[in-house]
Structure 1
Amino acid sequence: MAPDTQDQQLLDPVDRAIIEALQVSPRATWTAVGEVVGVDPVTVARRWTRLSESGVAWVTATGAAAPDGGGAAALVDIAVASEHLDAAARHIAADPYVFTLERATGAHALTAIVGAPDMSRLVGQSLERIERTPGVRAVEIHLVTRIFLEASRWRMRGLTPAQSSRLKELAPAPPARPGRGAPPDEVVMGILAADGRASGTDIAAALGTSVHTARRRLDRVLASGRLVFRCDVAQPFTGWPVCATFRATVAPARAGAIAQTLSSLPEIRMCAACTGPHNIQISVWLRSVDDVHRLESLLAERLPDLHIADRVIVLRQYKASGRILDASGRATPVLPTAPTPSETPPE
């Protein structure tokens, strides 16, 4: 969906630069962002408050991958009866393991990206929950075997390479790591999942503790390495309002080299290897529907051994980057709650 004129004015060059600065360094200080962008820190903070409170941009924290490579993810196609579509989408989006949920063209009404700490929870708490949702007629599951390019690496192109480098130089040193065996602070981690830029003062207000205590707890979480921070932006406000997915086949030995070429193209958001008849899935953001054919022609020219078998266009995003979206594509304050194995889907 393309934004209206008023919405287009939300992202002027300074807004775009601030968003990209937080894509590069999600917890950068406003002083550092202001130095790089060329505006004072108070202006940066005020603009970010407007962007985040309106649901146009947000910073979140998610669990870091385990050192042993643990974790499981799947690309899921969901066939839903039309009369149940919206209710089914709301129910599925409420699962915190559902990272992205979209309505798309093609044989399946909904497509999702689902990730969990392990295969047991992926299947038992998310995939089975999706299958039990009223109105769901069929589910096709394609396990992700490798992620070549993550969507978090996509940039607004609001900064120069020199500005991005300077921002990294200004990044604060991480706190000292906590002692081995220190228990995870799940409460603080939950606050950061909702607002990845929450400060010690914010956490103190939420928990009713002193600022000193809150900052100490925050530092322990930041030092633990258990969280990955990212800044996302509502797609309709980026200037790239069309989302499409290409499903392709490539010889396994060529997958890495092809993914490297794909990562150099500004339209490419995500590239993953998966199980199923087509072993590569590519997510792209485009400026118009016509660009689907232009990009496909470009890929055929540059990568003749990448065989695109299917392409679908997203009609609506119900959830993106872990955030539930409204009909205009803005992030809402609603946070998904963890499902339990015995949960019964609503009728």
Structure 2
Amino acid sequence: MQIMRQTLDETDRRIAAALLAAPRASWRALARCLELSERTVVRRVTPLYADGTLRATVVRNPARFPHLIPLALRIRCRPHKIRQVAHALARRADTVWVDVLSGGDEISTIFFLDGPDARNTLLLRDLPATDAVDSWTSHTLLRVFPTAFRWTAGLLSPEERARLTPEPPPPTAPPAPLDLDTALIAALTEDGRATYTELARRAGTTALTARRRLDALVRGQVLRPATEIDLALLGAHAEALLWIAVRPGALQETARILAVHPQVRFCAATTGPANLVVALAAADLDALYTFLTDAVGPLDGVTALDTTPLLATVKRTGLIRHPSRTPGPSDPKEGA
């Protein structure tokens, strides 16, 4: 089992932050952005990927896959069974993230479900048949605001971010699906930094074709390259989900304002009484409080707010989270 590190020094943290902003950036681009030597970047980053502290993947945009139904669930569980339920959810291929919320009896999870049958099976059969589950609410993701994905924990200056990720060109229309897309997506899900040669081998094509196709998929917002890391290693010790009720006429503008806030790492409009969900990564509880009062407070369209701090993350960007230490003898075992 891989065990993630418990601390990173300042240089490692800045390299990790740069990889959050540009998951497939070359070592040379990272070195230029951070004013380090390319050799230093390689020497620093290689062990971070080797021990699982950093992991690279891609996440599909459900808006570009008509058969996918993106669903956020808040699941209330019996507290002594919550680890068992969370790990069972994380093992499912159709969950993207799984978080245990701070009350210790609730899980938040995002599903990308393969059509109405899969949705109905989950909501009408699987969850009702799970004895440890008491109740749940479901929220369909209507629109995800991609600007929130540029979160870097405040470790990069605006100038550094601009050097690393110049203002991207306007998104293109999504390209028509090709047979090689399935193999490309599978390879990138396993290793988001796979070389074009490796992608070509997996997809049965040439490296040039793999490169052009991946560029088309990213520019068409079909795929989003992603870097997975425990955000506490970057100084974010207060993560929370905000379930915000916004007047419909103010929803677009409220989401636009919050999505570009430097502490917001995810923002999506949803169905349900709370029609905007925001994932926040703040330095500490005082920073979380300041966000609520100074960023959310002045927004006239907000009518209600439910703040749910995260107790533990079990899965993020489709990857099951590795432990940051070896479990002790008193820790609950999966399935206990």
User: Does the alignment pair 1:53 with 2:50?
Assistant: yes
Matches of 1:303 and 1:49, distance apart in 2: 43
Q: How many residues align?
A: 316
Matches of 2:292 and 2:181, distance apart in 1: 46
User: Does the alignment pair 1:324 with 2:323?
Assistant: no
Contact kept? 1:95, 1:126, Cα under 8 Å? no
User: Does the alignment pair 1:7 with 2:6?
Assistant: yes
Per-residue CA deviation, residues 84-137 of structure 1 (Å, 9 max, x unaligned), is 222221111111221111111349521112223544444446885444444222
Residue identity over aligned pairs, in percent, reads: 23
Per-residue CA deviation, residues 248-297 of structure 1 (Å, 9 max, x unaligned), is 22210011122222234322222222222222222211222344433322
Q: 2:84 aligns with which of 79, 82, 87?
A: 87
Letter in 2 for 1:33: L
Match of 2:211 in 1: 219
Q: 2:227 aligns with which of 228, 231, 234?
A: 231
Alpha-carbon distance, 1:48 to partner: 1.7
Match of 2:308 in 1: 312
Match of 1:155 in 2: 152
Q: Secondary structure at the match of 1:157?
A: coil
Contact kept? 1:76, 1:140, Cα under 8 Å? yes
Q: 2:21 aligns with which of 21, 24, 35?
A: 24
- Counterparts of 1:229-308 in structure 2 under 5 Å? 229-299=225-295, 301-308=297-304
Match of 2:30 in 1: 33
Q: 1:131 to 1:250 in 2, by over 3 A?
A: same
Alpha-carbon distance, 1:170 to partner: 12
Contact kept? 2:59, 2:225, Cα under 8 Å? yes
Unaligned stretches of 5+ in structure 2?
169-173, 327-334
Contact kept? 2:246, 2:275, Cα under 8 Å? yes
Contact kept? 2:153, 2:263, Cα under 8 Å? no
Match of 1:338 in 2: none
Match of 1:198 in 2: 194
Q: Secondary structure at the match of 2:207?
A: helix
Letter in 2 for 1:93: A
Q: Secondary structure at the match of 1:302?
A: coil
Matches of 1:289 and 1:281, distance apart in 2: 19
Matches of 1:185 and 1:265, distance apart in 2: 33
Matches of 1:150 and 1:129, distance apart in 2: 34
Alpha-carbon distance, 1:30 to partner: 1.3
TM-score (norm 1): 0.76
Matches of 1:260 and 1:129, distance apart in 2: 36
Contact kept? 1:101, 1:320, Cα under 8 Å? yes
Contact kept? 2:56, 2:192, Cα under 8 Å? yes
- Counterparts of 1:82-231 in structure 2 under 5 Å? 82-106=79-103, 108-116=105-113, 118-124=115-121, 128-148=125-145, 151-168=148-165, 182-200=178-196, 215=207, 218-219=210-211, 221-223=213-215, 225=217, 226-231=222-227
Matches of 2:59 and 2:259, distance apart in 1: 23
Contact kept? 2:31, 2:41, Cα under 8 Å? yes
Alpha-carbon distance, 1:237 to partner: 0.5
Match of 2:332 in 1: none
TM-score (norm 2): 0.79
Contact kept? 1:25, 1:168, Cα under 8 Å? yes
Contact kept? 1:102, 1:319, Cα under 8 Å? yes
Q: Secondary structure at the match of 1:18?
A: helix
Q: 1:143 to 1:189 in 2, by over 3 A?
A: closer
Matches of 1:142 and 1:108, distance apart in 2: 19
Per-residue CA deviation, residues 40-73 of structure 1 (Å, 9 max, x unaligned), is 2232122222222233322211234455866421
Q: 1:272 to 1:108 in 2, by over 3 A?
A: farther
Contact kept? 1:115, 1:122, Cα under 8 Å? no
Unaligned stretches of 5+ in structure 1?
172-176, 331-345
Contact kept? 2:71, 2:113, Cα under 8 Å? no
Matches of 2:207 and 2:124, distance apart in 1: 38
- Segment drifting more, 118-127 vs 57-66: 118-127
